Amino acid sequence: MTLLERDPQAPTAWRGNLPVTSRYTYGLAGEKFFRTLKDEGKIMGTVCNNCGRTYVPATAFCERCLSELTEWVDVGLVGELHTFTRLFVDYDGNPLDEPELVGFIGFGDGGLIHKLEADPDTLEIGKKMEAVLKPKSKRTGSILDIEHFKPAK
């Protein structure tokens, strides 16, 4: 059967293992974002001087106007809670002993999804949340260098 004879609506399946390997990289902007988080304990964004948007986490290009973004800005460790939820199961669907809180914390025109350490009854949209970083000696250059976010004082 040729490609033209094949029914494009017919389901297809691959039986067996796919011999595929891959390596994920952060990319140019992600590399600098995570290196600065690890080495300096800062959350960095990039600014589009054409649109005025601030991307957090930092990106190399503006998603609106495709300008290359070369201006970096320290957005601080305090962001604004945009939404949150309680998790009752882990990523494999196993029940958690205690529910976990996860939220989206806005910085600039973006933000980060991360764990929250807070009394859920005190959380509200718009609340200022502060990143709690691991000690510098324990940071590895990942998003988990932020342990969690807590209500800012």
CB atoms within 10 A of CB 42: 17
Give the nearer residue to Zn ion in terms of CB position, either 51 or 132. Answer: 51
Give the nearer residue to Zn ion in terms of CB position, either 65 or 96. Answer: 65
Give the nearer residue to Zn ion in terms of CB position, either 63 or 117. Answer: 63
48 contributes a contact to Zn ion by CB under 5 A: yes
Report the C-alpha dihedral over residues 63, 64, 69, 72, rounded to 10 degrees.
-90
49 contributes a contact to Zn ion by CB under 5 A: no
64 contributes a contact to Zn ion by CB under 5 A: yes
50 contributes a contact to Zn ion by CB under 5 A: yes
51 contributes a contact to Zn ion by CB under 5 A: yes
* Per-residue DSSP letter, 84: E
84-105 exposure pattern, b = at least 16 Cβ within 10 A, e = fewer: beeeeeeeeeeeeeeebbebbb
Phi, psi of 3 (to 5 degrees): -60, -35
6 contributes a contact to Zn ion by CB under 5 A: no
128 contributes a contact to Zn ion by CB under 5 A: no
Applying CB under 5 A, the residues found at the interface with Zn ion are 48, 50-51, 62, 64-65, 67
